[in-house]
A and B are shown apart, each in its own frame.
Chain A
Amino acid sequence: MEAGADSKQAVIRVRDLVKDFGGRRILNGISLDVYEGETLVVMGGSGCGKSTFLRHLIGSISPDSGEVWMFGKNLASAPEGEMDEIRKKFGMLFQSAALFDSLTVGENIALPLREHAKLDENIVQIIVKMKLELVGLRGFENLMPSQLSGGMKKRVGLARAISMDPKIVFYDEPTAGLDPIMTAVIDKLVVDLTKKLSMTSVVVTHDMASVFRIADRIVMFHQGNMVEMGTPEEIRNSKNPLVRQFIAGEAEGPVSFFQQGDDYLEHLTAGIR
């Protein structure tokens, strides 16, 4: 992959990203590039900072130190007007889908269009129908989000994320909490969108079946550090015990079940001394 790396264009560059929350280090110097047209999967255990990492990429939180560059612009120093232009070029599927409860499915998808594009209302309606068709929910535009199942919400969230035909789509655990069939459906959607519409995708997930179905490249996080990066093949054959344990899904291994910082014995006897 090293040979091809030069020819590919990096649409996102992350350099030495550091973030603390309440004195706890959540991201500890992450540096990576996302290339145009690829699907990069970020995997790692719950609470290891994957969502926090995505939030930095979309500019909704700013790093304590380090930089995020998207389309050659530094997100931290981009003025509001420039940031708005950048925002039109990416979409995000949130972990909880984050559909607006007070709007119908169709209005949810139309919202970014009505806001940013001066389109005729008929055109907006046609785009909404097209996006719903793309995620397999034709004819659902008049339902309220509360009437949808979890998998349907995710798909509407996806339709909304791509309503502006973005260049990059971010997915935060798109398949978490879904049944295996729906997981496969969403995975296929991710692959289709990336290949057919030549989008760039950054997918956060800890579903190993998904990872190998969709990834062009995989990066694994552990406690705010990048422990491994490579193609699916390289990850599958990795010697790193952390990665091996994660792929095999074993309870015993270098990843400890306990995440507390203090020593257990000390913790137990704290009241005695």
Chain B
Amino acid sequence: MLLESIGRVSLSFWNQTKETLFLLAQTLYWIFCGPFRKKPVSRKNLFAQTVFGGIHSLPIVFFVDFFIGMVLAMQAAYQLEKWGATIYVASLVGVSVTREIGPVLTSLVIAGRVGAAITAELATMKVTEQVEALETMGLNPVRTLVVPRFLALLVMLPCLVLLGDLIGMLGGYVIGTVNLGLPSGLYVDTTIQFLEKKDILTGLLKSAVFSVIITMTACREGLSTQGGAEGVGRSTTRSVVISFILIILADAILTGVFYFAKT
């Protein structure tokens, strides 16, 4: 009984992974080979997706990262105070925000905001025959619907992460200077001293991978939706949950790879 359900879950997981990879292959095909076959993706659509996925996500990303930066600083201070090394709050916040917390947290927020919206929109289009209408007009749904969303998030998520990193460190700075009484200049210097370009790049690379996870999961769920309004709701929930799981898994794998690659 238990084995059976484990088997069923892993089978459906495997099928979904296959579908997702197939969709990714199609998306890449349309990005790289499409422009030679047909008109490129409409710039207006790309712009609209970028604005929605990127600019409109700034407030929530800033909010989350700022407060997490503050929390990190307080946590670190609690430990470091014992050793009289409170100044290292700056470096600890800087490194953990750029390497880990910034990319993962920002991506989770975006999966909830943008991924869910993509799935809901595509799912609604699917159940109201709009996707089929596109096909009958000779407009490939992957090219018209998936590619602009994919490209928009691939560009915007690393940008959001970079800005989120800055805001997260600002949160730490506020705690460090106001509550812990650290000198402002020293805090900034320590942060910069311990920040490595590699850390920032690692974070950006991760966020690019996460953006692929978010759009591919969201688009696959949306385009495979069946069964009216209820189906739209189900797909949207699944899209967010699956994105969360895959982001965390990918983060663990990538962190491991970068850690062992270093030594």
Whether the Cβ atoms of A111 and B137 lie closer than 8 Å is yes
- Interchain nearest-CB distance for B243 vs A (Å): 23
Over the window 103-126 of chain B, the binary record of Cβ atoms lying under 8 Å from chain A Cβ atoms (1 yes, 0 no) is 000000000000000000000110
Evaluate whether A60 and B135 lie within 8 angstroms (CB atoms) in the complex, with A96-B129, A98-B128 already known. Answer: yes
B10 touches A (CB below 8 Å) = no
Tell me the A80-132 residues at the B interface (CB within 8 Å).
83-84, 87-88, 90-92, 94-96, 98-101, 111-112, 115-116
Tell me the B130-167 residues at the A interface (CB within 8 Å).
130, 132-133, 135-139
Evaluate whether A92 and B138 lie within 8 angstroms (CB atoms) in the complex, with A98-B128, A115-B39 already known. Answer: no
Whether the Cβ atoms of B136 and A58 lie closer than 8 Å is yes
User: How far apart are the CA atoms of A83 and B133 in the complex, in Å?
Assistant: 15
A-B contact number at CB 8 A: 44
Whether the Cβ atoms of A98 and B138 lie closer than 8 Å is no
Chain B interface size range: 10 to 19
- Interchain nearest-CB distance for A114 vs B (Å): 8
User: How far apart are the CA atoms of A111 and B138 in the complex, in Å?
Assistant: 11
Chain A interface size range: 20 to 34
Whether the Cβ atoms of A84 and B138 lie closer than 8 Å is yes
Whether the Cβ atoms of B39 and A94 lie closer than 8 Å is no
User: How far apart are the CA atoms of A84 and B132 in the complex, in Å?
Assistant: 14
Q: Which residues of B contact A111 (CB under 8 A)?
A: 137, 139
- Interchain nearest-CB distance for A179 vs B (Å): 22
Closest residue of A by beta carbon distance from B37: A81
User: How far apart are the CA atoms of A261 and B221 in the complex, in Å?
Assistant: 33
Select which of A87, A100, A101, A115 is within 8 A of B136 by beta carbon.
A87
Q: Which residues of B contact A91 (CB under 8 A)?
A: 136
Interface positions of B (Cβ within 8 A of A): 38-39, 124-125, 128-130, 132-133, 135-139
Q: Which residues of A contact B135 (CB under 8 A)?
A: 60
Known: A87-B138, A94-B132. 14 other contacts (CB 8 A): A60-B135, A87-B136, A87-B137, A90-B136, A94-B129, A98-B128, A98-B132, A100-B130, A100-B133, A101-B130, A111-B139, A112-B138, A115-B38, A115-B39
Subset of 5 A-B contacts with CB under 8 Å: A60-B135, A90-B136, A92-B136, A112-B138, A112-B139
Q: Which residues of B contact A90 (CB under 8 A)?
A: 136
User: How far apart are the CA atoms of A83 and B130 in the complex, in Å?
Assistant: 19
Whether the Cβ atoms of A112 and B130 lie closer than 8 Å is no
Whether the Cβ atoms of A60 and B139 lie closer than 8 Å is no
Closest 9 CB pairs of A and B: A98-B129, A98-B133, A87-B138, A112-B137, A94-B129, A84-B138, A92-B136, A98-B130, A58-B136
Q: Which residues of B contact A100 (CB under 8 A)?
A: 125, 130, 133
- Interchain nearest-CB distance for A168 vs B (Å): 11
Over the window 36-62 of chain A, the binary record of Cβ atoms lying under 8 Å from chain B Cβ atoms (1 yes, 0 no) is 000000000000000000010010100
Select which of A84, A94, A115 is within 8 A of B133 by beta carbon.
A94
User: How far apart are the CA atoms of A94 and B129 in the complex, in Å?
Assistant: 7
Q: Which residues of B contact A115 (CB under 8 A)?
A: 38-39, 137-139
Closest residue of A by beta carbon distance from B131: A98
Closest residue of A by beta carbon distance from B134: A100
Evaluate whether A60 and B136 lie within 8 angstroms (CB atoms) in the complex, with A95-B129, A96-B128, A98-B130 already known. Answer: yes
